[in-house]
Each structure stands twice: as C-alpha cells, then as structure tokens.
Structure 1
C-alpha cells in the first residue's frame, strides 16, 4: 500500500487500518532508501522520512509518546539524509505537537520558532509546500504560546501564518506531499484563532470565529475535528447543552476512533453531565461511555 493511501486512512481516522499497513510500508521504505543509487537516494530517504513522520503522528494520537518520539527522531534523520527542508520542517512540527502533549510548552515554542526562522520563505518565489511547512510551524508555536499564557504573542504568530495561507491560496499546491502539507490554508488559520480563544476561556469569540470555518471536514481531518471540540466546549460554557451534545454526536458519527482518544472531549462531556438539570439523554450516555467519562 502506498504512503498516500495510508495517509488518507489516517486522515479519515481509520487508525486500525493505518496501524496495520504501516509496518510493511516502513520496511519497504527503509530497504529502498538503503539500497538506492546516488541519484535516487534523496527521494528514497524523503519517502522514508514521511513514512516515519506519519507513524509518529499516529502514535501521538494513540498516546504512545515514547514510541512517537523514536519515530519522529528517525524521521528527522531520514529528512536530513534526503536534504529536504520541507519534509524536515513538517517532522519538526510533529515534534512540537508531541512536546505540547507532554506539557513542555516553552520547548515547543522554541523549537517551532527557531525552525521557522531557519526556513522562512521568500513569499514572492516560495513554493506552496515551503509556505505550508512554515505556516504549520507557526500554528504549533501559536498553540503553545496560547497555552503558556502569552495570547498577544500567539496572535502575532497567527497573523504571520495567515499571510502565508493567503499566498498559498493564490497558487496551486504541488502534489506528492502528505495531506497535512496541502491542508494548510486560511480556514486552518481561522481554526487556530478559535482554539486560542478557547484556551483564553472566551466562548463567545470561539463561536464568532467558528462561523467563518467550513461546516464540513477539511483535508486534515484532525484539525477540523479539534476545532469542533472547541465549538462544543463553547456551547457547554454558555450552558447551551443540546447544541454542545449535538456537536459531539456529529463527531462521534464521523470520527469515533479519534474522539475516543480525546481527553478534551471527556472533559466537555463531564462538564455537561455535571451541570445538566434534566435526566441524561441516551445520546449523552453513549458519548460518556465512548470517551470514558464518569457520570
């Protein structure tokens, strides 16, 4: 199975199929890289790096942090062997995501910003993939800054990422990269603004910003799904529990495997069950069971 096919499985939240397919891909990619001719070696190592990067992302979703660290470190080594700065930068973004999951916010921002500074593109001539890799790094930095109680810095970084997204929107992205690279656009920037508002405990702003985000899934499914959790959280904070529950039910129907792994979802469901005045509905009970919420 090709990397692009497995990437689509991952983006569609089919973690079981992704986990089943990855070992063969990783073995084939490693053998190909190690036996490639001089001319073919950069492309072969780039493929190996992207395969390991996808593995690392999956392991982060499954909360296997130690294994994800190994996969991402090996992905970065392969990217260096390939001499591919775009692939290397996207791997770094995965490392920043892992650092955030571990609560190491200062390290995440330092890694994201220092890498972004190293690869900062010239807007007039940069390829969409270069702008996208830079933008994703800024998104990671903004998320960490917001959680580290630096909202003004987070907003500045998001504004810079927005400029890259606008530039990408004026051009046709090249094919061949993981969907994550092609999934950076102005809508993704808007989701980040909403996420920062949720971190700042501002549900009104979350819902205002969410109105500018497409109602359906975007190319990077996990980003849109995470955004919908912010929307559910905002509804719950406003005590609009039916809307919050409906938003979560939509996510359960679309991405149950992903939702099951989200502590954020569990916290939202917990808040709804504790504050509700009516008897628990069957839908809410099903959600509580899925996310492991105590009632």
Structure 2
C-alpha cells in the first residue's frame, strides 16, 4: 500500500510534506508508510489518504487475488476459486435483463430441491472458507435461480424461487468479496436485496441489508454502511415483543454491523451504544445460533469486541479482550468466525511488534481454514511486513507460512 500511496502522491505532484499535512499526520509518518516501515492499520485512514489524493479508495487497496493451486491434507486442492470468477461474471451478465435479448433458452423445469441443497452447501462452504469447493457451483446456481423465478406460476412458487435467488446472490457476493473482486460483490448484493424485497420476508430483506452493508464498507461508503443495517434493524425492532430466536439473531447481526460502521468512522460513543444493544439481544437469545447463516450469539459478540478495540486503535486492549473469547464454544462449521478472530489477534500482536505471537495465531488459523489466509489481504500485509523485518527466531516458520499463502520473501 505504501508504494501505491507514493505513486499517486507523485502523480498528483504533492511532496510528502503536503500530503501529510492534508491528512493531519507528520511527514515522518508518511515516509514510514511509503517505505514499508509502517502499515496503515485502519480503513478510515486509507479513506483519508485517498480523499487527500483525490482518488477512489480502491486504488490504494490490493486488487483481486490471483493464486496457484496447492494441496492440503484437510481440504484437498485449494486456491482455484479465482479461476472461476470469469464464468461467474458471465453468468451474472447472461442471466439478467439481457437474457431475452441474447436468446437464452429455457432448459426445462428447475429442480428446486437440488438448488436448495446447493445453496445450503454454498453457505457451509462460506462459513468454512472452502471457496474453491464452492466457486464451481455458482454459475449453475445463478442460472437455475433465474429460470426458477421465471417458471414460477403461483404466489408460493414465486416466493420460493425469489428466496433462493436472494440467497444465491448473497452467498455469491460474500465469496466475490473475499476474492477481492472490486465490482461484482456490489452487483450481487444489490440483486440479493432486490430478490429479497420481492418475497416480502422481513428477515430475508434484513439479510440482504447485512450483505449490502459489508460491500458498502469495503467500497469506502462508511456512512451508508452504518445507515443500511441500522434502518433494517429499526424495521425489525417494531415487532420486538413477538421476536423469535431467528428474529433476534438477524437483528443482533445487523446491530453488530452498525457497531462496525461506527468504529470505522471512529465514533466511540456510537460503538458503545450499539454494543449495549447487541449484548442485550445476545442475552435474550441465550446461546450461539446460526440462523440465516449469521452465526450470532454471545461468542460472536465477544469476537467483535476484540475487532472493535483494534479498529478503534487499541491493539493492547484487543489482545487483553481476546483472552475472554470462548472459541471452544464455536462448532467446527463456523471456522470462518474462529479464523477471523485469530487473524484479528495476529494483527494486534503484529502492530505491537510481537511477531512470534502473531505467527502462532496465523499458524493456528491455517489449521482451521487455510483458504481464508490465502484470500485475506491483512494476512498478506502481516507476512510481508514480518519478512521485511525478519527475525532469526521465527525465520523458518515465517517463510514456510509465507510460501503457503503466496507472499514472496
């Protein structure tokens, strides 16, 4: 990222003194960023630098991942998901408004039971970060959901088909987002929301809002990334007295997204308010659940507390809070939550220059969900930084993990 900042700074004709002044930082801070001695550790800071350079934030962020296949004992061949992205993009183009214009033929009745099983498998892959297993399913699911919606006759058939379409695009958006695609996650998230709205199912609509909030944040639209889930949560709150466990799970997940958005704009007070409501909801729920594949409950709230402390600029507090997270209570099918937490802890240690602990956390994460490390930009940043400041005590383990992830020494 430092190299990209330096490139666009020179292209704009700014000196380091000018750019550092525009973002309210010291010239030495910017110098350290550009030469790789320091990392930009918060999304809000990236947005400030991009605004000062008058560019979109995505130009400072890494592009889509390109990997080579590799074998693991647990997952078989991994790292192949990016190879399927062109086929997914083609399916998203073909099975939309232009389908009639390009002469897409009806393949015959869609087996909705089969499509439902594929959607469920895809969400399982999403929560266990098995992207190379899931990716080949996506083009066919997009095609089937398109045809199912157009073949439906009764209102019940239409709702069922649109429900599946909403879920197909939600899980697809999440995968494309993980792979670092810049445009497609947004398109998929909007299609998921549009299909959900046609079902008039408030929980499905809320799920679409949750996914859209993630895409908005990653695209740098921090205000909207808070407003969207909050508005959806407000709609669910109207029926709070009759809330089912599924209702509470979705509501709590939306409020967590509100807390994430507030932390990204450094609003400590709002973060506390959101967390207070989230904890109240988790207490009402009483246990960890996975309704609509949101994995909400007390454990996920604890995981988010660690992430929020880090996003608010306090890695030491994040390390302290991590000790209280009961990771052993998460079932194996929620590997993504476990590994996301371990990556957060590793990042906190990395920022404190405690590289042995950071590397140990990443090594543990690799055992649970190896593809998550391969397709997480923060992991690449950490490994690159540790390789630049390589210490003898971690040299062997660091180089072995870096080679697996695909980070050059």
The normalised TM-score by structure 2 is: 0.66
Q: Which digits, 9 at most, give the CA deviation of each residue in 1:80-114, with x for residues without a partner?
A: 11111111111111111111112221121122222
1:74 Cα shift?
1.2
Distance, in Å, in 2 between the alignment partners of 1:291 and 1:188 is 26
1:39 Cα shift?
2.8
Aligned CA distance change for structure 1 residues 60 and 126 (closer, same or farther; 3 Å): same
Residue 270 of structure 1 is matched in structure 2 by 384
1:121 Cα shift?
5.0
Distance, in Å, in 2 between the alignment partners of 1:119 and 1:60 is 26
Distance, in Å, in 2 between the alignment partners of 1:69 and 1:238 is 34
Q: How large is the Cα RMSD of the aligned pairs? A: 2.3
Distance, in Å, in 2 between the alignment partners of 1:143 and 1:223 is 15
Moved more, 269-278 or 148-157: 269-278
Aligned pair partner of 2:183 in 66, 70, 73:
66
Q: Contact 2:127/2:336 (CA < 8 Å) preserved in 1?
A: yes
1:225 Cα shift?
1.8
Residue 221 of structure 1 is matched in structure 2 by 335
Distance, in Å, in 2 between the alignment partners of 1:23 and 1:293 is 30
Residue 301 of structure 2 is matched in structure 1 by 189
Distance, in Å, in 1 between the alignment partners of 2:203 and 2:269 is 28
Aligned pair partner of 2:349 in 229, 235, 246:
235
Distance, in Å, in 1 between the alignment partners of 2:292 and 2:335 is 13
Q: Contact 2:305/2:321 (CA < 8 Å) preserved in 1?
A: yes
Aligned CA distance change for structure 1 residues 266 and 144 (closer, same or farther; 3 Å): same
The normalised TM-score by structure 1 is: 0.89
Residue 212 of structure 1 is matched in structure 2 by 324
Q: Contact 2:210/2:257 (CA < 8 Å) preserved in 1?
A: yes
Once the two structures are superposed, the pairs formed by residues 69-218 of structure 1 within 5 Å of their partners are 69-120=186-237, 122-169=239-286, 178-180=292-294, 183-216=295-328, 218=331
Residue 402 of structure 2 is matched in structure 1 by 288
Aligned pair partner of 1:256 in 370, 377, 389:
370
Aligned residues: 290
Moved more, 205-214 or 219-228: 219-228
Q: Gaps spanning 5+ residues in structure 2: where?
A: 1-113
The answer on 1:17 being equivalent to 2:129 is no
Distance, in Å, in 2 between the alignment partners of 1:124 and 1:221 is 33
- Which protein shows a greater Rg? 2
Distance, in Å, in 1 between the alignment partners of 2:120 and 2:164 is 10
Q: Which digits, 9 at most, give the CA deviation of each residue in 1:188-227, with x for residues without a partner?
A: 1111111011112322221222122233455543333221
Distance, in Å, in 1 between the alignment partners of 2:264 and 2:191 is 28
Aligned CA distance change for structure 1 residues 119 and 178 (closer, same or farther; 3 Å): closer
1:280 Cα shift?
5.0
Q: Secondary structure at the match of 2:313?
A: coil
Q: Which digits, 9 at most, give the CA deviation of each residue in 1:26-72, with x for residues without a partner?
A: 32233223222223322221122111111111111111231111111
Residue 110 of structure 2 is matched in structure 1 by none
Q: Secondary structure at the match of 2:124?
A: helix
Once the two structures are superposed, the pairs formed by residues 43-58 of structure 1 within 5 Å of their partners are 43-58=160-175
Distance, in Å, in 1 between the alignment partners of 2:393 and 2:315 is 25
1:292 Cα shift?
4.7
Q: Which digits, 9 at most, give the CA deviation of each residue in 1:156-191, with x for residues without a partner?
A: 112211211221226x96x9x5322xx111111111
